[in-house]
């Protein structure tokens, strides 16, 4: 029998869905009487909300668990959560004695029960993927920042051959339309001015993502809507039309392509070609000419030749990405690509990643430079490092640094004065007028 924990800390890794899940777990633990440990506090419950997307994810999680033991040999209660928890299941308890409970992404609502079980001397594991949604069992949203995440869909049926998501997050499942709208209203009531709709395949949302966007755009006080991540195959005409018609929908689209080579795309089971991807973007740009496109890339997929890689650089140039994430291929056990022939040598992968990233940086810089001299609205979301400096997001999701006494959550008008690959500098428009 141990005491019930009082102060918890949740550490989220990986994607925005984990950030969202972390917030919901925090709300749940608070509503069951615990409080969040401050930065300097010693927590007596630590939830490691893990990511499994790349190599050595499990090893990293176990070493993070190991580091939670204090100098005097004591340690907090430890919950292994997230995608590593889902993938490892009961095995996690065998591999680390310091793990008290294992909770998969569809079982978070059971955390308070599991904590009580731990206090009774048990080591519960729940990695079930029940059809009934955890969301119904979570408390309503409360305090939120100016920019909030909202999960509308989870899981993936696409089975790209490199990806663990269909195994760790399960089949595609969408939340009921009205539940999502109600949660959006709750977030706005709690102070959110921007909502980012989340899903591993958010544009496969069953009720129609376009309809959902139009419905939440009616909420007074909500000013910005975004969504991520989308699959090219689910970019419907109705969703594209929404980009041209819904003012609150921000001009930014994260649409991963992964490779510019049709041969590799086929081996990845991506269900689009370079050409069909570009045609989709043509339609998006016809609807919203100023849209910023962002993407994900994998270099060194098994069998990737120099020519395939050149095709990837070509699609980067054809699209002119405003921002992008790029990764070296990492074999994930249990996925079809893990047993494919034609592994790319490490030094080749390194070199390709470097070339790709410098090309992507050129495009981001060009995109950012094109905003110099423009007036835009930024939503302040954090403090800068310098005194008086604040950082906000532009409609195109650029981070903009500005000196202002505006507070987090304020929307301010700035004129962009300079551009780097990953950020912009600006001055307050009023300040410029006054000067
Ligand atoms: N190796 C490298 N990158 C991967 N991603 C997903 N699985 C892998 C893998 N096995 C990348 C993809 C995806 C992003 C979230 O992570 O680019 O879009
Ligand atoms: Fe993974 Fe492909 Fe599904 Fe994205 S679409 S989560 S990359 S399987």
| Number of C-beta neighbours around residue 45 at 10 A | 23
Hey, whose CA ends up nearest to atom 2 of ligand 2?
160
Residue numbers in the known binding site are 15, 51, 83, 156, 160, 163
Centre of ligand 1 from the C-alpha of residue 218, in Å = 35
Q: Does any ligand 1 atom lie closer than 6 A to the CB of residue 332? A: yes
Place of tokens 């009531």: 189
Fold (topology level) of 7-126: Rossmann fold (3.40.50)
pLDDT, residue 143, reads 64
Closest ligand to 18 CA? 1
Ranges of beta strands (E only) in 310-398 are: 323-328, 375-383, 389-393
9 neighbors 37 (Cβ within 8 angstroms)? yes
pLDDT beyond 80 at 180: yes
Nearest Cα residue to atom 1 of ligand 2: 163
* Averaged pLDDT for residues 367-372: 97
How far apart are alpha carbons 101 and 93 in whole angstroms?
Answer: 8
Q: Do the beta carbons of residue 221 and residue 188 sit within 8 Å?
A: yes
Place 58 in a pLDDT band, splitting at 50, 70 and 90.
confident
Q: Using CB atoms within 10 A of its CB, is residue 33 exposed (0-12), middle (13-18) or buried (19+)?
A: exposed
Please tell me the predicted confidence (pLDDT) of residue 138.
77
If one residue of 158, 265, 271 were mutated to test the ligand 2 pocket, choosing by the most ligand atoms within 8 A of its CB, it would be 158
Average pLDDT in the chain: 93
- Determine the distance separating the centroid of ligand 2 and the alpha carbon of 163, expressed in angstroms: 6
Contacts 24+ apart (CB under 8 A), 184-189: 184/150, 184/216, 184/219, 184/222, 185/219, 186/140, 186/141, 187/141, 187/144, 187/148, 187/150, 188/219, 188/220, 188/221, 188/222
Average pLDDT over residues 108-125: 94
| Interatomic CA distance for residues 73 and 165, integer angstroms | 36
The pLDDT value recorded for residue 435 is 45
> 271 and 159 in contact (C-beta within 8 Å)?
no
How does residue 131 score in pLDDT terms, banded at 50, 70 and 90? Answer: low
Write down the domain spans for the chain: 7-126, 134-369, 375-428
pLDDT for res 365: 96
Q: pLDDT tens for residues 228-279?
A: 999 999 999 999 999 999 999 999 999 999 999 999 999 999 999 999 999 9
- Give the pLDDT mean for 287-296: 97
DSSP state of 73: S
- CATH code of domain 375-428: 2.40.50.140
Nearest to 329 by CA among 163, 117, 146, 107: 163
Q: Is pLDDT of 164 > 60?
A: yes
CATH of span 134-369:
3.80.30.20
Count the neighbouring beta carbons within 10 Å of the beta carbon of residue 289.
9
Cβ 169 under 6 angstroms from ligand 2: no
| Beta carbons of 173 and 155 less than 8 angstroms apart | yes
159 lines ligand 2 (CB under 6 A): yes
In this prediction, what percent of the chain has a pLDDT beyond 90? Answer: 80
3-state secondary structure 208-238: CHHHHHHHHCCCCCCCEEEEECCCHHHCCHH
Judge if the beta carbon of residue 277 lies within 6 A of ligand 1: no
Quick one: pLDDT at residue 2?
65
Task: Supply the pLDDT for residue 117.
Answer: 94
**Cβ neighbour number for residue 271 with a 10 Å cutoff:** 15
Which of 46, 61, 302 shows the shortest CA–CA distance to 161?
Answer: 302
pLDDT at 206 over 80: yes
59: number of Cβ within 10 Å: 11
Ligand nearest to the CA of 169: 2
Cβ(203) – ligand 1 distance below 6 Å = no
């Amino acid at each position: 029998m141990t005491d019930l924990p009082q102060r918890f800390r949740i550490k989220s890794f990986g994607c925005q869905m984990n950030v969202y899940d972390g917030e919901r777990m925090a709300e749940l633990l608070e509503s069951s009487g615990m409080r969040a440990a401050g930065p300097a506090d010693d927590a007596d419950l630590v939830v490691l909300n893990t990511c499994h997307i790349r190599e050595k994810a499990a090893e990293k999680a176990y070493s993070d668990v190991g580091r939670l033991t204090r100098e005097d040999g004591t340690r907090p209660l430890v919950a292994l959560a997230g995608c590593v928890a889902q993938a490892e299941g009961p095995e996690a308890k065998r591999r680390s004695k310091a793990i008290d409970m294992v909770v998969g992404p569809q079982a978070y609502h059971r955390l308070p029960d599991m904590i009580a079980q731990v206090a009774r001397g048990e080591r519960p594991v729940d990695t079930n993927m029940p059809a009934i949604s955890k969301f119904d069992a979570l408390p309503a949203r409360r305090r939120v920042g100016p920019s909030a995440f909202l999960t509308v869909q989870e899981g993936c049926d696409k089975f790209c051959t490199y990806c663990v998501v269909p195994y760790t997050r399960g089949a595609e499942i969408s939340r009921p339309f009205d539940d999502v709208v109600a949660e959006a209203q709750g977030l706005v009531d709690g102070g959110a001015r921007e909502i980012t709709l989340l899903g591993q395949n958010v544009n496969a949302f069953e009720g129609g993502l376009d309809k959902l966007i139009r419905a939440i755009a009616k909420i007074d006080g909500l000013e910005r809507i975004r969504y991520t991540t989308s699959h090219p195959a689910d970019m419907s005409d109705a969703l594209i039309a929404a980009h041209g018609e819904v003012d609150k929908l921000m001009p930014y689209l994260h649409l991963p392509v992964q490779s510019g080579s049709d041969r590799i795309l086929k081996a990845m089971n991506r269900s689009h070609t370079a050409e069909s991807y570009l045609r989709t973007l043509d339609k998006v740009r016809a609807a919203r000419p100023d849209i910023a496109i962002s993407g994900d890339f994998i270099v060194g997929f098994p069998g990737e030749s120099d020519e395939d890689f050149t095709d990837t650089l070509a699609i980067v140039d054809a699209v002119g990405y405003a921002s992008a994430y790029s990764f070296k291929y990492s074999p994930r056990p249990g996925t079809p690509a893990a047993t494919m022939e034609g592994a790319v040598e490490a030094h080749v992968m390194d070199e390709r990643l470097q070339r790709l990233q410098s090309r992507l940086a050129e495009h981001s810089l060009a995109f950012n430079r094109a905003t110099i001299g423009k007036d835009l609205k930024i939503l302040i979301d954090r403090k800068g490092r310098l005194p008086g400096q604040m950082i906000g997001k532009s409609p195109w999701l650029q981070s903009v640094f500005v000196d202002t006494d505006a507070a987090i959550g304020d929307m301010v008008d700035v004129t962009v004065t300079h551009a780097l690959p990953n950020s912009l500098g600006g001055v307050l428009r009023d300040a410029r007028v006054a000067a």
